[in-house]
Amino acid sequence: AHRTQRLPRLLSFTTADGGRRTKKVTTGAFNREFTIHNCSIVFFTGSPPRFWISATLMASRLIHKATYEADNSFDVSLRESFQLLEPQLRPPFSLTIPTQTEYLNLNRAILYGILSETHLAKVHIKHLHGIVIDGYSFFTTLLTRMVNELYTKLVENVKVQLIWVTSEMIYVSAVGVDGLLVALLRQTRGGDFSEANLWLCSELVGLISAKWDCLLDEQPLILSSALYVFLRLLADHCRVSLNSKIEILKQKEIEFCIRVFREQFHLCLKIGRDLIRLLQDLVHVPEFQDIWKDLLLLPANFKTSGFSDISQLYRSRTSSRYFLLRITPEMEAHLRFLLTHVKLGSQTRYQIWFARKFFNVPDSETVIIDIVRFICCAHHPSNKIILSSVIPRWAVIGWLLKCCTKSHVEANVKLALFYDWLFFHEEVDNIMNIEPAILLMINSIPKYVDMTQNLLEFLFLLMDHYDVDKKELIVGCISSVLDVLERRGVVQSFDALISCDMVSPFLKERFLKMLASRNASAFNNSQPAFLSCQRL
């Protein structure tokens, strides 16, 4: 507060804890600054003399912050609440029922205390248990926001406390704990073998395994989300050998995934077709070979009513929420900005910045697989954006393919692009999921015709070899894709592919045959009965 008045000989004011503080002032105190109980008092000469009082906010104990960075508003709100209510956080606790505003501030203060005062964490959590009136909803909302906005900046001991308090929230079945766990799972980064990332992976697989029974009863979908995450992480972790920490982590992840398959296979079915896409990268892991055998030959071994064939998984669309699990909130924000606001032709500097930030360590390019799946299935622009000059999805995917330096990553990125083509069903699938691949092939002609040829060749390889036993199904689905794309106006015609002299004659001939057979009634009459697919 700013005040102007005659300078008293004895300055007296009330502090946040209700106490009184005094400071004797003499005429020599002009133009001086001193502090009383976290308040800064500055005296100025003049007639009449004036003084200025302001609260001094303590430095953050939660996050790393460079000197040039502005304060984070969320971190500041937690600190302010803690500083204001700190005396109330010590036993004996008040028995007065707080108002709504006081309750929210007390939640913020307790959270800050739990994370910053490790030695008093159990005292703070007991205090929280004593005052909670909303099923911990606001508290878990604060935790989730902290993970989404601040996790990468948190100091190490705060991250440890974050896992501990998450465990406590699972124990009390807090409202919103599922969102908190999803937020933490999203912070595990593919292709990142840093100690911090491996620690988080280990802590989460350990926590979810330890709370198995509780989560199964209260939040079963968290187990399917965790399965998706750890299957994807295992594909990266299994490419590294002779590292004791990773070996221990791999074993934890494998044990968790196998347990879900064997004990709760109905939760695996919730994932849909992308479950098979993830499993194919683990086909050489001994523990998963029996899973593959049962999926292909002995589906009854899963003891799940209604499941009798792998085709049922193929024809079950994967919900977009699973694709969000494999990119961090920060990455999602940058991708959505690029695909919503950046004009085609002006994207180069944004792409360079994005690559420097997210593809800056060895093996990090494996996240491109997840980004492409996200762009195809989880980011569907409005018609207004599609008709504008904003960079289209197919152009970003083309750039991402050029970022791949390893053949196995490039192959998996192409599979992520075409995967919904292989099992497309118009009544279940979204046309936006299949749109980027065809537009990338057509719009790459003639300047980037090598991109068109590579994609077309890969599509035919998938038709012939992805699942030989289900080849008829796959060919029929791809024919259906071409029919839907033209019928619904995504492309006016396929003439650009057919008439281009730079495209291999062999590829054009195969493509023409596929176009000729796309309306064949034989395919429509041979549709098997599939498991009904719910949109999650």
pLDDT tens string 228-254: 999 999 999 999 877 888 999 999 999
Task: Find tokens 């490790």 and name the residue.
Answer: 118
End-to-end CA, the chain = 52
Contacts of 508 (CB under 8 A, 6+ apart): 497, 498, 500
- The whole-angstrom separation of Cα 531 and Cα 536 is 15
- The whole-angstrom separation of Cα 229 and Cα 247 is 18
Kindly report, residue by residue over 318-330, the tens digit of the pLDDT.
999 999 999 999 9
In b/e form, how buried is each residue of 441-457, taking b as 16+ CB within 10 angstroms?
Answer: bbbbbeeebebbbbbbe
Most confident residue range from 16-20, 306-310, 454-458, 501-505: 454-458
Q: What is the pTM of this model?
A: 0.87
**Between helices 195-210 and 177-186, what is the axis angle to 10°?**
150
- The whole-angstrom separation of Cα 34 and Cα 341 is 49
- The whole-angstrom separation of Cα 470 and Cα 472 is 6
- The whole-angstrom separation of Cα 128 and Cα 125 is 5
Task: Label the pairing between strands 20-24 and 33-36.
Answer: unpaired
Torsion of CA 71, 74, 79, 85, to 10 degrees: 150
Kindly report, residue by residue over 120-131, the tens digit of the pLDDT.
999 999 999 999
Burial of residue 98 (number of CB atoms within 10 Å: 0-12, 13-18, 19+): middle
Kindly report, residue by residue over 444-475, the tens digit of the pLDDT.
999 999 999 999 999 999 999 999 999 999 99
User: Encoding tokens for residue 247?
Assistant: 């070996």
The DSSP letter of residue 364 is G
pLDDT at 54 over 80: no
Kindly report, residue by residue over 216-231, the tens digit of the pLDDT.
999 999 999 999 999 9
Q: Which residues on adjacent β-strands are paired with residue 390? A: 343
pLDDT of residue 67: 84
Measured over the CA atoms of residue 131, residue 136, residue 138 and residue 139, the dihedral's sign is positive
Q: Report yes or no: 225 and 185 within 8 Å, Cβ to Cβ.
A: yes
pLDDT at 492 over 60: yes
pLDDT of residue 56: 60
